[in-house]
Chains A and B, each alone.
Chain A
């Protein structure tokens, strides 16, 4: 039996917790967690260090709440989805009737790379709907930009209010709609300079070789290798599923590499592309999903000229 406001529901109950003070945060989180423990529901905290410590200090010392490292969980949206889907499946297989999680997007994710976290917040309405999950996503309204809060309202069906109420979000939009919206793609500052690589219709091997030529030594070896995987997958997708010409460009500075792959087509049809592995064999779905787990930021844009995917490795903008 599920407890709390999700009682009687199936699937995911996804709430935003927008707080203006530590007191407001704790006023919602502490009863949420203790309620989970009392109902014998697996109960998790995936907050950053500061907020996590606040919550820890407010809980009884022996509370059976599991603290996940928020930084590790929320490194990349697609990796977070993959981790949580596995966790939820395991817990339900072990007999859980409801799982409670309080989490937050790390501060770096609320800056120039917010767009992929906004897509995460929208996509998980479906991605976690296979399991009886009640989660809250905490946002500090004092330090969160209004446009981010607008996305929060559009991606969370409900708000957990500090007074204990659960208020439906009037601005919520279905994930298929939200994820299909064209979002702006402001250039990364290093894109102001001419690209170091500018190729038309390169093979995947030529694109990889070009990245090796200009990018080696700028990033950690592991990070660089993963970026090469992402470039190869993205160029392959452009050549196979996009419309020629495919234009491949690369910019780099001391600790960041940006690559864009553009074609004159309309981009992936699947609104969840990149966030979930393609379940129905959607062309290029798996490559895009891997790409999202191999870069520190992936964003896309459609306009009259076509579709562009931008990959960033190394220090993400805003970090």
Chain B
């Protein structure tokens, strides 16, 4: 089950258990892009040609492959580095490809990528997680949409969770939290889902990887889809803000969050309750 669509951007993390499942969802995701007038890229591990041949037999794709509306790339064809990704240059590459697509008359660029090979080691994942957040930010201004797919049987769920939590949507179950860029008028990021001791370590890591920068000494976290957070998460947010000489603002939070924060004397945290 997917987390609810909460962002105007489409950036989806899909953990899959078999190549057929990945193929099915990727085709569905990209077909919607074709229908919306986007250029679509299918980025696959291994060689592109066999997948291209396979797609030629899939409804809606044959013509698109011939016109260039649909393209199949191997990982090296889409990513600037397949060892340890460099977030800034990869974001730049996708920004450039998106603008090329728009120049060519498409409404944007949509990518379905099996990135399993790019996140096998902790070092790769750390860099890729930072890239995921930066690409979220890039989507504020570019017509770029993406589905990042990861093979659960090869990576295991904990490794995928490190990446999933930095997507607006994922299919890892609704108990996970999510941290992702939103339009600046809403805040630097949205914090959604549930935070408790089971995912604190992941939350701390995600917050570090998000590399948020205060604006006017404030880090605004849109919290209207934050269903639960406990005192440990609030204390950590306060420390995170204090270390950056800023105030964390939890905007549109449930009123219970404000009551909990009031008990804890957290000078670097402000809760703006929605009700």
Chain B residues within an 8 Å CB radius of A286: 231
Q: If the complex has contacts A229-B256, A290-B260, A290-B263, are A203 and B198 also in contact, measured as CB distance less than 8 A? A: yes
Counting chain B residues whose Cβ lies within 8 A of the other chain, the interface size class is: 10 to 19
Chain B residues within an 8 Å CB radius of A222: 255-256, 259
B256 contact from A225, A233, A287, Cβ within 8 A: A225
Q: For the complex, is B251 an interface residue (Cβ under 8 Å from A)? A: no
Chain A residues within an 8 Å CB radius of B197: 204, 236, 240
A233 to B197, CA, bound (A): 10
A287 to B260, CA, bound (A): 11
Judge whether B194 and A205 touch: CB under 8 Å: yes
A233 to B254, CA, bound (A): 18
In whole Å, how far is A126's beta carbon from the nearest beta carbon of chain B? Answer: 20
Q: For the complex, is B106 an interface residue (Cβ under 8 Å from A)? A: no
Judge whether B228 and A236 touch: CB under 8 Å: no
In whole Å, how far is B124's beta carbon from the nearest beta carbon of chain A? Answer: 29
Counting chain A residues whose Cβ lies within 8 A of the other chain, the interface size class is: 10 to 19
Q: For the complex, is B175 an interface residue (Cβ under 8 Å from A)? A: yes
Judge whether A236 and B230 touch: CB under 8 Å: yes
Q: For the complex, is B60 an interface residue (Cβ under 8 Å from A)? A: no
Chain B residues within an 8 Å CB radius of A287: 230-231
B196 contact from A221, A225, A236, A293, Cβ within 8 A: A236
Judge whether A225 and B230 touch: CB under 8 Å: no
In whole Å, how far is A221's beta carbon from the nearest beta carbon of chain B? Answer: 8
A82 to B260, CA, bound (A): 14
A240 to B175, CA, bound (A): 19
In whole Å, how far is A128's beta carbon from the nearest beta carbon of chain B? Answer: 19
Chain B residues within an 8 Å CB radius of A179: none
Chain B residues within an 8 Å CB radius of A290: 231, 260, 263
Q: If the complex has contacts A226-B259, A233-B230, A290-B260, are A208 and B194 also in contact, measured as CB distance less than 8 A? A: yes
Judge whether B260 and A204 touch: CB under 8 Å: no
In whole Å, how far is B68's beta carbon from the nearest beta carbon of chain A? Answer: 46
In whole Å, how far is B104's beta carbon from the nearest beta carbon of chain A? Answer: 46
Interface of chain A residues 162 through 210 with chain B (CB within 8 A): 203-205, 208
In whole Å, how far is B197's beta carbon from the nearest beta carbon of chain A? Answer: 6
Q: For the complex, is A228 an interface residue (Cβ under 8 Å from B)? A: yes
A82 contact from B175, B194, B263, Cβ within 8 A: B263
Interface of chain B residues 10 through 62 with chain A (CB within 8 A): none
A225 contact from B175, B231, B255, B263, Cβ within 8 A: B255
Binary per-residue interface labels of chain A (11-55) against chain B in the complex, 1 for a CB within 8 Å, 0 otherwise: 000000000000000000000000000000000000000000000
Leading 4 A-B pairs by shortest Cβ distance: A225-B256, A205-B175, A204-B196, A236-B197
* A contact residues vs B (CB 8 Å cutoff): 82, 203-205, 208, 221-222, 225-226, 228-229, 232-233, 236, 240, 286-287, 290, 293
- List 25 A-B residue pairs with CB atoms under 8 Å apart, sorted by A's residue number: A82-B263, A204-B196, A204-B230, A205-B175, A205-B198, A208-B194, A222-B255, A222-B256, A222-B259, A225-B254, A225-B255, A225-B256, A228-B256, A229-B228, A229-B256, A232-B196, A232-B228, A232-B230, A233-B230, A233-B231, A236-B230, A286-B231, A287-B231, A290-B260, A290-B263
Q: A82-B263, A233-B231, A236-B230 are in contact. List 16 more A-B contacts (CB 8 A).
A: A203-B198, A204-B196, A204-B197, A205-B194, A208-B228, A222-B259, A225-B254, A225-B255, A225-B256, A226-B256, A228-B256, A229-B230, A232-B196, A232-B230, A233-B230, A287-B230
